[in-house]
């Protein structure tokens, strides 16, 4: 969003510079639910994942032996983690006006439920689900994955 | 005999460890929450596997082993493996489209009514993450439409805040005439493109 605001401001020669860039920089989604032990690791720091917490590209989510977490990304894809699981939200760009799309998720270990969103619909090749077993691709359906 | 027995024991241990070390990665295709059934594939340097039926599985020992078909997984096994993750699955975000008269940032009459449904959905799901994206049609200049799409989004946010939804739950984006619902040539009036999309997540 920040980038988009910069682009727009340049494009119209400063007319919109005063307009608020309402979205926080780099936000890509939010925590929907979290139970048990769950941490979000951002730039090496641990954040407690309350529902509604905004997520950023690069965030790592980890669940403990009794933890689960569900998130929604801003292209309306959803991801849920079972216990003892870890995922990195490596990359996310969703800018339909610029036709700029990218979603890279790295499922490190554990169990996952993934439902693809608009990026998968608009630009299927821009979605990469990395797992220890290789790259997974999902179209128009729900994926259940157990990886280690 | 003794060295042989030791060797045998070591061999058995090795086989056991090798068995444990075999990484089993399991991918199961489930129906989309909207009901449709699509495809899942897994690709690594050794090959690619594809499935397209409900419950069908792909199994991969590790990144140096080709994905292979595992056949259908029954519901009991799915529940056993994925119950916790499935319980944490968020509901699908709900999308509302509000429409506007030409050059106006005020939602039309039907869309004003729809605002009540948005508020109801926010209440029902206790949504903390509501996305608002403003759009314009291609009549008028690009920069004017960019501002108009922002004004529309801000007006919808104001109307929802007026109806009791806390301000901090929103994020606003705007695309001007860059993301059309109905593609048109430039300077074409198209009511369906004059819209604000509200996504309740």
Q: Where are the domains of chain B?
A: 2-87, 94-200
Rounded Cα–Cα distance for residues B57 and A9 (Å): 49
pLDDT at position B6 is 62
Q: Return the pLDDT at A9.
A: 38
Q: How far apart are alpha carbons A4 and A10 in whole angstroms?
A: 10
Query: A19 in a domain, yes or no?
Result: no
Number of domains chain A is built from = 1
For residue B126, the tally of other CB atoms under 10 A from its CB is 9
CB-based contacts of B77: which residues, under 8 Å, 6+ apart? none
**Taking chain A (148 residues) in consecutive chunks of 10 residues, what is each chunk's mean pLDDT?**
37 39 76 98 96 97 98 98 98 94 98 97 96 97 98
pLDDT for the residue A14: 37
Residue A73 lies in a domain: yes
| Mean pLDDT along residues B133-153 | 97
Q: Is residue A42 assigned to a domain? A: yes
Concatenated DSSP letters of B113-168: HHHHHHHHHHHHHT-S-EEEEE---SSS-HHHHHHHHHHHHHHHHHHHHHTT--GG
Question: What pLDDT is stored for residue B24 in this prediction?
Answer: 85
Which residues in chain B are closer than 8 Å to A15, comparing Cβ atoms? Answer: 143, 147
A residues 90-129 closer than 8 Å to B (CB)? 96-98, 111-113, 115
How far apart are the C-alpha atoms of B125 and B200, rounded to whole Å?
9
pLDDT in tens, B144-194: 999 999 999 999 999 999 999 999 999 999 999 999 999 999 999 999 999
Q: Is the pLDDT of residue B142 over 70?
A: yes
Q: Is residue A4 part of a domain?
A: no
Domain at B94-200: CATH architecture: 2-Layer Sandwich (3.30)
Q: Which residues 47-86 on chain B approach chain A with CB closer than 8 angstroms?
A: 60-63, 67, 78, 81-86
Parallel, antiparallel, or unpaired: how do β-strands B47-51 and B170-174 relate? unpaired
Domain residues for A135? Answer: 27-147
Q: Does A26 touch chain B (CB under 8 A)?
A: no
pLDDT at A25: 76
Distance (Å, whole) CA B87 – CA B176: 39
Q: How many angstroms away from the CA of B5 is the closest CA of chain A?
A: 34
- Residue A135: which of B36, B43, B86 has the nearest Cβ? B43
Q: Which pLDDT belongs to residue B8?
A: 58
The per-residue pLDDT for range B77-96, each reduced to its tens digit, is 999 999 999 999 999 999 99
Report, as an integer, the average pLDDT of B41-60: 97
A111 contacts on B by Cβ (under 8 Å): 81-82, 84-85
| Whole-structure pTM value | 0.86
Interface touch B67/A133, C-beta < 8 Å:
yes
SS3 A37: coil
Q: Is the Cβ pair B201, A30 closer than 8 Å?
A: yes
Residue B48 CB: number of other CB atoms within 10 A?
14
Per the domain annotation, does A2 fall within a domain? Answer: no
CB-based contact B129 A30, cutoff 8 Å: yes
């Amino acid at each position: 969003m920040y980038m988009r605001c910069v682009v727009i401001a340049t494009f119209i020669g400063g007319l919109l510079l005063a307009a608020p860039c309402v979205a926080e920089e780099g936000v890509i989604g939010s925590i929907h639910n979290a139970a048990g032990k769950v941490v979000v690791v951002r730039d090496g720091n641990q954040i407690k994942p309350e529902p509604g917490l905004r997520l950023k590209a690069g965030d790592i989510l980890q669940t403990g032996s009794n933890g689960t977490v569900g998130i929604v990304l801003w292209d309306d894809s959803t991801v849920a983690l079972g216990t003892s699981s870890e995922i990195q939200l490596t990359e996310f760009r969703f800018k339909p006006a610029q036709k700029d799309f990218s979603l890279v998720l790295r499922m490190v270990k554990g169990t996952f439920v993934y439902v693809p969103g608009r990026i998968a619909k608009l630009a299927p090749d821009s979605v990469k689900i990395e797992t220890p077993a290789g790259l997974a691709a999902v179209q128009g359906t729900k994926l259940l994955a157990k990886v280690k | 005999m003794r060295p042989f027995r030791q060797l045998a024991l070591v061999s058995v241990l090795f086989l056991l460890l090798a068995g444990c070390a075999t990484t089993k990665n399991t991918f199961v295709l489930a129906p989309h929450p909207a009901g449709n059934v699509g495809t899942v594939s897994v690709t690594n340097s050794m090959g690619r596997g594809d499935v397209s039926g409900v419950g069908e599985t792909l199994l991969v020992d590790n990144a140096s082993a080709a994905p292979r078909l595992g056949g259908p997984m029954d519901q009991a096994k799915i529940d056993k493996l994925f119950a916790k993750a499935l319980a944490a699955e968020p509901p699908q975000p709900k999308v509302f489209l509000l429409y506007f008269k030409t050059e106006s940032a005020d939602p039309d009459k039907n869309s004003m009514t729809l605002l009540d449904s948005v508020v109801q959905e926010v209440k029902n799901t206790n949504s903390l993450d509501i996305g608002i994206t403003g759009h314009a049609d291609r009549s008028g200049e690009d920069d004017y439409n960019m501002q108009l799409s922002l004004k529309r989004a801000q007006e919808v946010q104001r109307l929802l805040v007026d109806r009791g939804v806390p301000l901090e739950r929103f994020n606003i984006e705007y695309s001007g005439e860059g993301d059309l619902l109905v593609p048109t040539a430039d300077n074409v009036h198209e009511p369906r493109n004059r819209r604000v999309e509200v996504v309740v997540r």
